[in-house]
Amino acid sequence: MKIPAGLRSEIKEIVLKKLNQEQNKAVIYTASKLTESEIDKIVKAIPELSGKEIKQIIDESIISGFKVVIGTTVYDYTLNFKLSSLKRINI
């Protein structure tokens, strides 16, 4: 399907805007609720989090640990991730 040139640039603009919006937001997926001091420590450890709007989501599928998502960047410190990385070991 060929997209007309004018529409193409419009779509690009919208996507970039959305991306910027997402880049200013950060979501922490966690197994159990984090305290404010814990969040501060996380922010200190991950400099990209500073100045961002942080949202916390309790994800029951997470065994333990947490996952920080900033736009398209993911910092995964969950046990799920550790277990799944074992799968990638080349036996």
Strand residues in 1-91 grouped as ranges (E):
25-30, 53-58, 66-70, 73-76
Nearest alpha carbon to residue 26 among 58, 63, 56, 64: 56
Instruction: Return the C-alpha torsion angle 6, 9, 13, 19, nearest 10.
Output: 140
Q: CB atoms < 10 A from the CB of 70, how many? A: 19
Q: Which of 27, 30, 49, 67: binder of another protein (CB under 8 A)?
A: 30
CA–CA dist 27, 72 (Å, integer)? 11
Q: Number of residues in contact with another protein, rule: CB under 8 A? A: 23
Minimum Å gap between C-beta 23 and another protein is: 19
CB nearer another protein, residue 22 or residue 77: 77
Within residues 32-91, the interface with another protein by CB under 8 A covers 32, 34, 38, 41-42, 44-46, 63-66, 77, 79-80, 83-84, 86-87, 89, 91
Which stretches of the chain bind another protein, using CB under 8 A? 30-32, 34, 38, 41-42, 44-46, 63-66, 77, 79-80, 83-84, 86-87, 89, 91
